[in-house]
Amino acid sequence: MQIDLTGRTAVVTGAAQGIGRRTAEHLHAAGATVALADLDPDRAAAAAVPLGTRAIGLGVDVRSRATVDAMIGAVAQRFGGVDILVTCAGILYPTRFQEITEREWDQTFAVNVSGVFHCCQAAAAAMRIRGWGRIVNLSSTAGKSVSTLGGAHYTASKAAVLGLTRAAAKELAPFGIAVNAVCPGLIDTEMARTNTTPERLEAYARSFPIQRLGRPEEVADLICFLASDHAAYLTGGSFDINGGDLMI
């Protein structure tokens, strides 16, 4: 199946590393112009450089609606609109339930839930102008079960993303905007490797039906499909990519 996103403009948050960066690269390879947005503007800019003139790196703090609006506005002004949004920005704390502080809880929801909401609402306003849009939100297997590495706040936040996705999908469908969620399992990313040991990651991998960690590019391929015309009749869905983890 050939994914052709020529003429589309995509915004990817959390794009300086991991799934976000691979997704930006794959969208670009499919023909899209891509804005790589990240809390660290220097790393976002560095990630955009190899992609050439059809890519820019931008700083954004998704916790702030004002900075999200400014980022979406800058992309729309430079490239003529926004067609695709992928919300990869997220944080994970491995804190166990009884030790979670109010600050950690609030910070997790500010990034993982409010940040997704801000980006979806701002991007949808731009998409409605064109009468076409694709929004793909990054949830997790944690949103359907319990996080492998993260605490209860991560699990709860990713479940909230699924509810937000369904509600947005229902309301935005009349405007030609499809909204879906992707639920990765344990993927070999910087986030995973900084929150546990290599030995534990290997043990987790051996416990899955497909006995390895997922790769960021595999998640990126799924996201590209959902961002394309091939997924025109899909909205409000949550798509698992976890090596069979949810079966056990």
* List 93, 154, 204, 233, catalytic entry: 154
CA separation for the pair 65, 79 (Å, rounded): 21
Question: Could you give the angle at the alpha carbon of 123 between the alpha carbons of 118 and 127, nearest 5°?
Answer: 155
CA separation for the pair 160, 120 (Å, rounded): 14
Q: Specify whether the CB–CB gap between 167 and 120 falls below 8 A.
A: no
- Which two structure tokens, joined as six digits, stand for 211? 């006995």
Q: Specify whether the CB–CB gap between 209 and 248 falls below 8 A.
A: yes
CA separation for the pair 75, 122 (Å, rounded): 12
Q: Give yes or no: 154 in active site.
A: yes
Rg of the Cα trace of the chain?
Answer: 17
CA separation for the pair 110, 22 (Å, rounded): 24
Question: Could you give the angle at the alpha carbon of 226 between the alpha carbons of 22 and 241, nearest 5°?
Answer: 65
Active-site residue numbers? 154
